[in-house]
Structure 1
Amino acid sequence: MAEIAPLPLSGLTTLRVGAAPARMIDARTRDELVAALREVWADGDPWFVLGGGSNLLAGDEPFPGTVIRILTSGFEEVGGAPEGFLRLRVEAGHNWDELVAWTVARGLSGIEAMSGIPGTVGAAPIQNVGAYGQEIVQTLVEVELIDELTGEVSVVPAAELGLGPRTSVLKHHYGSVPERSAVVLSLTLQLARVGHDARPVADARLRSALGLEPDVEVSVSWIRDTVLSIRAGKGMVLDDPDPDTHSAGSFFNNPIVTAEVARSLPEGCPRWPLAPQVDAVSVIPLAAYDGRVPRPATQESLVKVSAAWLIEHAGLPKGFALPRSRASLSTKHTLALTNRGGATAGEIAELARFVQSRVAADFGLVLMPEPVLVGVEL
């Protein structure tokens, strides 16, 4: 590992804000990353890791601790995949979209609809990254973690990560700490070998997102190209001359509410029912068994609603900005907060708070930020 002169985070994040931290370490190999984390944890210093910087809002004051840049890269095929599939172990610092492009070029399916998402591979399981009907939970086999509590490295099955809508046990949600404080060193994906020919798209969510009829056949490269075009139209593909892409992507999570709350929203608000969680295992003491098996218990139905719709219908159109602010909503997508040139973290946060207040006043819902906030309060 190499300790370097701290660089301003404004040059390392897609929102282009943030001061230089007190200390910065570059970790270019897995061993360097492990050593750096163990050293920082042993010293008890404040810390955070930085990958592609696409999901971070860093403050205008210097972070009083150590930032460890994860610069690892590379991947390899590993065993254990069933017939018709391939497993890849990928280093945490590898560029996500470069990985997607490589898999599509080799006729592998499973992450092609997540084309154009900025950032690194290690961030994908932290918030169960997804787009257009695909999520990392569908292909993730396991992750290699190093735990802050013990400093030990372990391989953890995907089923133990609590992967849900843009969440996991590893995610630092705003106002809380992760259930498990650990850093991803690598992950293993299982992808289908489908080749380059057109084929039906089995997933109804992906067909709907891409406007495909059930009998239409397309290739994985068509899906990638189409997703990149859609994302570019929303300013969600990084493009240096376009200030609409100087963002952290979707700044707010789509609220997940009860069916009752969803019914109270205007009819035009887009909503997506979530599958109910069913208690799959019921233990009945033998002495109490009367020959009848009770119905599985289910939780109250939950519904995901569109944060972008709520923002726009709270009177905040695309391109909205507060007076004299250099931050604004994207001119292409109301869910993205953008730096129009020289904005501070304070200006981004001020706009975020204003959006939250307007949506709360009109619809009674508090939008929660999706990016990690360091040195910033909403």
Structure 2
Amino acid sequence: MTSFADLTTIAVGGRIARFVEPTSRVGVIEAVEDADSKGLPLCVIGGGSNLLVSDEPFDGVVIRDARRRITVPDEAAPVENGERIVHVNAEAGANWDDFVAFTVELGLEGVEGLSGIPGTVGASVVQNIGAYGQEVASSVESVEVWDRKTKTTRDIPAADMGFGYRMSALKASMYQAPAVPADRFFPTPRYVVLSVTFVLRHSAQGTVGYGQLAKALGVEVGDRMATTVIRNAVLQVRAAKGMLEDATRYGNPAMAGTKRTDQVAIAMNAQAAQADASATQPDAAPAPDYDRHSCGSFFMNPILHPAAAAALPPDAPRFAATLPDGTPGVKTSAAWLIDHAGFHKGYRIAPDAPASLSTLHTLALTNRGSASAADIAALAKAVQDGVEQAFGIRLVPEPVVVGLDLR
């Protein structure tokens, strides 16, 4: 029987009563409708990278969209009038990094900075993923969804998606308050993504939009470089911080076929090259990298009222941001707060605890090989409590948390 431990990047979670992989648009809709009509708990899962589920059996339906087609409705070349806009449509089940690789290979600019983020195209717009100076929101034209309330399909233009920092109207439909699930639509939004249409630019160069990436490339923020170079640099930076998924997970039968085989091979080779053991044994198969057994960044960067931000230590990071009510706010760094509250890289709540902060990045909570969801939750609560005690700020989990209370 398939479990969430088989399907998620952090490799924890209980058994699933019914696991369905529809291979058609109609099949996705019918599977969602079947679960809803029977009043069954429903979890539509992508790559399992932003999900923490309890160890208890999930007595409902888990749907993973098996459609992975990516198409270019436009001709992928500048037209005679010099227009460089190119539309690309991707089905919700397409692996996100496969999508990024596809666009870069096609000579398109717009999402190269989002390379290496685990998950699917459908999940990307729910979470409004972002990294290294880009957010998916800036490249979305429209999102085709199934509305579970009205039982209709609709196309939601980007302007109506409610995109914000790690937020969208889709994600908002799951919560009544931060980390507090809504009564009806949780852990799957009211709107189930069927496909996404992106607007990209025909260009073999992209803009380096983030300081850390510029430093890695030896250039200035705002410089233009080949998108292939930017993509490779992003992958290297993410790997150095343990913020790539463990490529060995694609050897798991439950994950087979969910990512392009050539991209899996590239990731496996890169992971082997990074591992110390592989340096002395070049022919050895890549071993699991437990720093990658995580949900990525586990806590959101807090956006504070200016008065609350003023109470932080002078050296705390501060960035201009917008509060949920639309007024000016200040964003600070969750990783900085965690580190300065006394939680070091590799921190465990006990010497033999099977869950720890990543040894490379304090913002990632990791499964060291035998952790349960309860172990991850205990670590998360320890960090939340410590940061709140030190700074008066309660960190909010970034992943969808099912069957556990991490408020």
Q: State TM-score, norm by structure 2.
A: 0.81
1:265-294: per-residue Cα shift (whole Å, max 9, x none)? 1122112112689xxxxxxxxxxxxxxxxx
Q: Is the 8 A contact 2:305 2:330 kept in 1?
A: yes
| Aligned counterparts of 2:398 and 2:59: Cα–Cα separation in 1 | 23
| Aligned counterparts of 2:294 and 2:224: Cα–Cα separation in 1 | 34
| Aligned counterparts of 1:17 and 1:365: Cα–Cα separation in 2 | 27
1:311-363: per-residue Cα shift (whole Å, max 9, x none)? 01000000000113100000000000000011000000000000000000000
Letter in 2 for 1:115: S
User: C-alpha displacement at 1:78, in angstroms?
Assistant: 2.1
Give the structure 1 partner of residue 309 of structure 2: 262
Cα–Cα, structure 1 residues 194 and 365, in superposed 2: closer, same or farther, change >3 Å?
same
Given the alignment of the two structures, is residue 227 of structure 1 paired with residue 234 of structure 2, yes or no? Answer: yes
Which of 249, 253, 271 is equivalent to 2:300?
A: 253
User: C-alpha displacement at 1:374, in angstroms?
Assistant: 1.2
Given the alignment of the two structures, is residue 175 of structure 1 paired with residue 214 of structure 2, yes or no? Answer: no
Give the structure 2 partner of residue 348 of structure 1: 376
User: C-alpha displacement at 1:216, in angstroms?
Assistant: 4.0
Q: How does 1:122-271 map to 2 (within 5 A)?
A: 122-171=122-171, 172-173=174-175, 174-177=179-182, 181-195=190-204, 201=207, 205-206=209-210, 209-211=213-215, 212-213=219-220, 216-239=223-246, 240=248, 241-271=288-318
| Aligned counterparts of 1:235 and 1:208: Cα–Cα separation in 2 | 15
1:126-181: per-residue Cα shift (whole Å, max 9, x none)? 01111011001100000000011122111110111110000011113521336961
* Matched residues, number: 348
Q: Secondary structure at the match of 1:149?
A: coil
Q: Secondary structure at the match of 1:274?
A: strand
User: C-alpha displacement at 1:206, in angstroms?
Assistant: 3.2
User: C-alpha displacement at 1:260, in angstroms?
Assistant: 1.8
Letter in 2 for 1:258: H
User: C-alpha displacement at 1:214, in angstroms?
Assistant: 5.3
User: C-alpha displacement at 1:79, in angstroms?
Assistant: 4.6
1:172-221: per-residue Cα shift (whole Å, max 9, x none)? 352133696110000000111012xx57x3x7x43564233257441111
Identity %: 44
Structure 2 residue runs without a partner (length 5+): 77-81, 249-287
Q: Is the 8 A contact 2:214 2:221 kept in 1?
A: no
User: C-alpha displacement at 1:75, in angstroms?
Assistant: 1.3
Letter in 2 for 1:34: I
Cα–Cα, structure 1 residues 78 and 264, in superposed 2: closer, same or farther, change >3 Å?
same
The RMSD of aligned alpha carbons is 2.1
Q: Which has the larger Rg? A: 1
| Aligned counterparts of 1:20 and 1:207: Cα–Cα separation in 2 | 42
Given the alignment of the two structures, is residue 107 of structure 1 paired with residue 111 of structure 2, yes or no? Answer: no
Q: Is the 8 A contact 1:14 1:248 kept in 2?
A: yes
Q: Is the 8 A contact 2:304 2:323 kept in 1?
A: no
Q: Is the 8 A contact 2:114 2:132 kept in 1?
A: yes
1:41-84: per-residue Cα shift (whole Å, max 9, x none)? 11111111111111110110001211112221111112599920
Q: Secondary structure at the match of 2:331?
A: strand
More divergent stretch after superposition (131-140 vs 175-184) = 175-184
Structure 1 residue runs without a partner (length 5+): 1-5, 278-297
| Aligned counterparts of 1:275 and 1:349: Cα–Cα separation in 2 | 29
Q: State TM-score, norm by structure 1.
A: 0.87
Choose between structure 1 and 2: higher helix proportion.
2
Q: Secondary structure at the match of 2:383?
A: helix
1:242-271: per-residue Cα shift (whole Å, max 9, x none)? 100000000000000112211211122112
More divergent stretch after superposition (63-72 vs 244-253) = 63-72
| Aligned counterparts of 1:99 and 1:349: Cα–Cα separation in 2 | 32
1:10-62: per-residue Cα shift (whole Å, max 9, x none)? 01100100111222212122121111111111111111111111111011000
More divergent stretch after superposition (173-182 vs 120-129) = 173-182
Q: How does 1:252-291 map to 2 (within 5 A)?
A: 252-274=299-321
Give the structure 1 partner of residue 54 of structure 2: 59
Cα–Cα, structure 1 residues 334 and 208, in superposed 2: closer, same or farther, change >3 Å?
closer
Q: How does 1:296-335 map to 2 (within 5 A)?
A: 300-323=327-350, 324-335=352-363
Given the alignment of the two structures, is residue 71 of structure 1 paired with residue 76 of structure 2, yes or no? Answer: no
Give the structure 2 partner of residue 373 of structure 1: 401
| Aligned counterparts of 1:64 and 1:17: Cα–Cα separation in 2 | 16
| Aligned counterparts of 1:303 and 1:187: Cα–Cα separation in 2 | 31
More divergent stretch after superposition (68-77 vs 341-350) = 68-77
More divergent stretch after superposition (178-187 vs 133-142) = 178-187
Letter in 2 for 1:253: M
Letter in 1 for 2:197: T
Q: Is the 8 A contact 1:63 1:375 kept in 2?
A: no
Letter in 1 for 2:5: S
| Aligned counterparts of 1:64 and 1:276: Cα–Cα separation in 2 | 37
Which of 7, 17, 26 is equivalent to 1:22?
A: 17
Q: Secondary structure at the match of 2:404?
A: coil
Q: Is the 8 A contact 2:213 2:233 kept in 1?
A: no
Q: Is the 8 A contact 2:49 2:295 kept in 1?
A: yes
